[in-house]
A and B are shown apart, each in its own frame.
Chain A
Amino acid sequence: MMEKMIFGRYLPLQSAVHQLDPRAKLLFIFGFVIVVFLANNALSYAVLAAFTFVLIYLSKINIRFLFAGLKPVIWLIAFTFLLHIFLTKEGDLLVEVGFLKVYEGGVRQGAFISLRFLLLIFVTSLLTLTTSPISITDGLESLLNPFKKLKLPVHELALMMSISLRFIPTLMDETDKIMKAQMARGADFSSGPIKDRIKAVVPLLIPLFVSAFKRAEELAVAMEARGYRGGEGRTKYRLLHWKWKDTVALSLLFVLAAVLWRLRS
């Protein structure tokens, strides 16, 4: 079951991108999302695309994995593309079929927006493909630390995230087991009208919930027995080290922004 899930899958390779500090990568993505909007003509989009592909090359990730990550959103991209083609009325008229009119500006806008989407998804998948979930959690916790002053429960959020990550495979196994147990009792999950199939999920979800709550309770007791009493006075096993490479990576983003600023029309 786990193997099918591409989204959020981590590929432990040795590359320059893998070795970056998770904080650098998170900040980079945050910046990238903004910088992407600077591009507004063919040349600036070309620079942006080239930059993204250099990143992918540096990460040593097979491009197949990135396309696999696209699957869930491909329809969204196609839909926005079509919307632009049919609704933007700029430039020369290209085709006219009945009441549908396609303008040159629409095609251009559609292509740009889809490319923007594509690049954003590539770069964000690059984060999850090159950073283990636990490092992302550590990075987030450290980046959000200043918000502690605003009473944001940063430590608790990070702990929740890491416990969820730890229990995903456990609960997957459990779902599998319950599913088989219900199938042995005659439950049918894979055929019949959609209404029946949704109903069939109920006897799967209820035992799963019951056991998840039981697990949560036992886990809480075990944590308390091991001396857990909130974030106060806790030390950390995993430490993050900001290196010069991380600074370089972030400055690259500024260089990119400057170049795009010059090229945009």
Chain B
Amino acid sequence: MKEPVISIRHVNFRYPEQTQYALKDISLDVAKGEWLAIVGHNGSGKSTLAKMLNGLHYPEEGQVTICGFSLKEEFVWEVRKRLGMVFQNPDNQFVGTTVQDDVAFGLENNGVPHEVMTARVKNSLQRVGMLDFLNQEPHHLSGGQKQRVAIAGVIALQPDIILLDEATSMLDPRGREEVLSTVRQLKEEQDLTVISITHDLEEASRADRIIVLNEGTVYREGTPEEIFQLNEELIGLGLDVPFPVKLSRVLRLEDFKIVSNHLTEEELVRELWTSNFKK
């Protein structure tokens, strides 16, 4: 494993005035440049974990280190510069009255000089493909476009890590595709680390590594292939396996010769239509 950009050691956390711990003895590392998906159903603690990584909660016990900064009140603004977050609701994170104002918001907060700011706003909007919408107002944009603007606002700050907290869950399939391919492209361009918190295993299947959270603990950790092998167990945790994985498994049970659990529809279709050639 490459050097970790985030390391979490034995973290416990509970919300004020609650006896139940939302996070119980969590330890995990995130390597530089990887795409990590954290999955779990509602109440598994995944959103709490996301908020903790951004210093919106502090651990009760244990140690969180992000880009070399220990997560404490004195370093929280340093952490927030390095870890950008995209939230679930596209409307409720759009601060500016127009697209360019919104992208500039984070830069203004960090006291970036005006000349640098204009260049960075243009550049980040161009990279998410929203440059033509510079002066648009948010209510004229689709959900996917708003999320792309939110991503532009994050990358304008040149962070090391992007954290997607259910960022695609309120979008239609097209918007989701838009957002995910934008993130993927950005990640390849500049060695970003991406953490996506989601309950959509379809989205998680594109990650390098998946961590399954359940009741505030790390339940499983592995590559998407390994995680999807769990099948019934995942369903028991309230997660649904992507359709191609399900189908390839059922086909195998019916004695079709299918090599592996395919993660994407394309792979499965390819194997199915070529399966007779091999005989």
Contact = CB atoms under 8 A, between A and B. Distances in A.
B101 interface: yes
B56 A221 contact: yes
A: contact size bracket: 20 to 34
Contact of B139 (A170, A219, A226): A170
B95 A237 contact: no
Interface residues of B, number: 40
B114 to A, nearest CB: 6
A226 B100 contact: no
B108 A235 contact: yes
Contacts of A166: 94-97, 137-138
Contacts of A162: 96-97
Decide if the interface of chain B is mainly helix, strand, loop or mixed.
Answer: helix
A226 B111 contact: no
B77 A227 contact: yes
B97 A227 contact: no
Interface in A214-242: 214-215, 218-219, 221-229, 233-239
Contacts of B96: 162, 166
A162 to B, nearest CB: 6
A227 B85 contact: no
Most buried by B among A222, A224, A233: A222
Contact of A169 (B98, B110, B121, B139): B139
Nearest to B54: A225
A222 B107 CA distance: 14
Given A169-B139, A222-B87, A222-B92, A229 B97 contact: no
7 contacts: A134-B97, A163-B95, A166-B94, A170-B138, A221-B56, A226-B105, A236-B114
Interface of A: 133-134, 162-163, 165-166, 169-170, 173, 214-215, 218-219, 221-229, 233-239
